[in-house]
């Protein structure tokens, strides 16, 4: 079974619990090592697929270093092969980030996360009024940027990124080459941003796993990141890897 599966894992809300601010997530100390052991069992076919930059994932999962589809696939690292983000290739977006910062500067608890080739606005701790103003600001910027970019919504966050960047695209890109090629994709995710990837994985005959409640197109479900970590730890330490045995969504 281990040589027939390729495992793809979202980060926030899947491997780690959601935090009030993106830089405040807590990575359990046993997680990086468990992921490394599980990667070895899978012959290397394990990757993190996330909206975070690759460098941020490296910081959280140090000292281990994993294949990563970062910024929803804008950045890709497979082994030593890296395709990075080039902010200079996005002059309209860069100018828009400056305008967005001015638009929300007076809003308490609204955070702009500038990722170079994308930008996200977080309002998890904001008042409803300030959250509404933050959403209006990023929606206006997305409209001004036009079809080369898209607005992606998540849990108390919205992000503008290149229109061609999706987690489903990143997963398919990984599966074009070893060690992922020819294997059945298994993707764990928790957010609206993961639903499109579930559609892709389902269409390709893989297994999609939703973390948390709510409507989903995923086939299977776990309730919280702690459940994911416990499952991955068991798999890392030799338990049978059978995603089809997980609870139905």
End-to-end CA gap in the chain: 22
The single-letter DSSP state of residue 39 is H
Residue 237 known to be catalytic: no
Classify domain 2-85+165-245 at the CATH superfamily level: HAD superfamily/HAD-like (3.40.50.1000)
Domains of the chain: which residue ranges? 2-85+165-245, 87-162
Q: What local confidence, expressed as pLDDT, does residue 23 receive?
A: 87
Q: What local confidence, expressed as pLDDT, does residue 154 receive?
A: 85
Q: What local confidence, expressed as pLDDT, does residue 1 receive?
A: 66
- pLDDT, tens digit (0-9, with 9 covering 90-100), for 169-191: 999 999 999 999 999 999 999 98
Tokens, residue 70: 């970062």
Q: What local confidence, expressed as pLDDT, does residue 84 receive?
A: 82
Q: What local confidence, expressed as pLDDT, does residue 208 receive?
A: 98
0.75 exceeded by pTM:
yes
Pick the CATH number of 87-162 from 3.30.70.1020, 3.40.1010.10, 3.40.50.620, 3.90.1570.10: 3.30.70.1020
Question: 115, 124, 125: which is closest to 191 by C-alpha?
Answer: 124
Q: What is the mean pLDDT of each run of 10 residues along the chain (249 residues)?
A: 91 94 92 98 97 95 97 93 88 94 92 91 92 95 94 89 92 97 97 93 98 96 98 97 95
Partners of 220 in the β-ladder: 209, 248
Q: What local confidence, expressed as pLDDT, does residue 101 receive?
A: 93
How many helices and strands (H and E) does the chain possess? 7, 12
The catalytically annotated residue of 3, 10, 204, 242 is 10
């Amino acid at each position: 079974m281990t040589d027939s599966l390729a495992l793809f894992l979202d980060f926030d809300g899947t491997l780690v619990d959601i935090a009030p601010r993106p830089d405040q997530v807590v990575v359990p100390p046993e997680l990086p090592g468990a992921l490394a052991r599980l990667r070895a069992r899978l012959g290397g076919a394990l990757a993190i697929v996330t909206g975070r930059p690759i460098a941020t994932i490296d910081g959280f999962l140090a000292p281990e270093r994993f294949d990563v589809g970062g910024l929803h696939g804008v950045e890709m690292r497979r082994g030593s092969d890296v395709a990075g983000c080039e902010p200079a290739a996005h002059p309209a977006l860069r100018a828009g980030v400056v305008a967005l910062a001015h638009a929300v500067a007076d809003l308490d608890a609204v955070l702009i996360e500038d990722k170079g080739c994308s930008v996200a606005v977080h309002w998890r701790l904001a008042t409803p009024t300030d959250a509404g103003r933050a959403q209006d600001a990023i929606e206006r910027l997305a409209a001004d940027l036009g079809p080369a970019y898209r607005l992606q919504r998540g849990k108390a966050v919205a992000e503008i990124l290149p229109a061609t960047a999706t987690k489903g695209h990143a997963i398919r890109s990984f599966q074009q080459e070893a060690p992922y090629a020819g294997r059945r994709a298994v993707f764990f995710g928790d957010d609206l941003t993961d639903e499109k990837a579930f559609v892709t994985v389902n269409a390709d005959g893989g297994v999609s796993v939703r973390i948390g409640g709510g409507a989903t197109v995923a086939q299977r479900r776990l309730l919280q990141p702690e459940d994911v970590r416990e499952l991955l730890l068991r798999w890392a330490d030799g338990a049978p890897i059978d995603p089809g045995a997980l609870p139905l969504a």
